[in-house]
Amino acid sequence: MESWLIPMTNEKPNLHLIAPVSGQTVDLDKVPDPVFSERLTGDGLAIRLEGDTVLAPCDGEITLFFDTKHAFAITTSDGVQVLVHVGLDTVLMNGRGITALHHTGDQVKAGDPILQLDLDLLKKKHINLISPVLIVNYDRVRHLRPRVAGCEVSAGMDTVLDYAV
């Protein structure tokens, strides 16, 4: 077990989210948008996106997919809703530069590709690529523990958030 994870002694196993994108972890307090830094949308962490594919951070059903494709939510079998928000101002792109590979209602597994990004276009348009990964209904979870800020993580490989229900 990685040292940053909280050991839990209850009968349910640790649950975790994997990195939906590759990049460097960022503490939510440092995200330059009060909706995220003040945890108005949920609790978790952010990742400074470096890759062009966004993966499912957990198993579940896609229960929300914004028309502009900049964010989606997956609800786990335990009822935990996980929001992945790609970049801070991607909504301004109105879907340009983002291709959805799944839709609302689809069942997905952790690591399944959800979005394909035109990273060159997003960078050309000066989109802030800090991407929050949040548990929206964090009142349903205990021991919420994000990976420390400043860590390089690989999409689909590294655990970025540990919690229990």
**Would you name the residues annotated as active-site residues?**
85
User: What value does the CA radius of gyration of the chain take, rounded to a whole number of Å?
Assistant: 15
Closest residue by Cα to residue 60 from 136, 131, 6: 136
Contact 102, 112 (CB under 8 A): yes
Q: What are phi and psi of 73, to 5 degrees?
A: -125, 140
Cα-Cα-Cα-Cα dihedral sign, residues 86, 91, 92, 96: positive
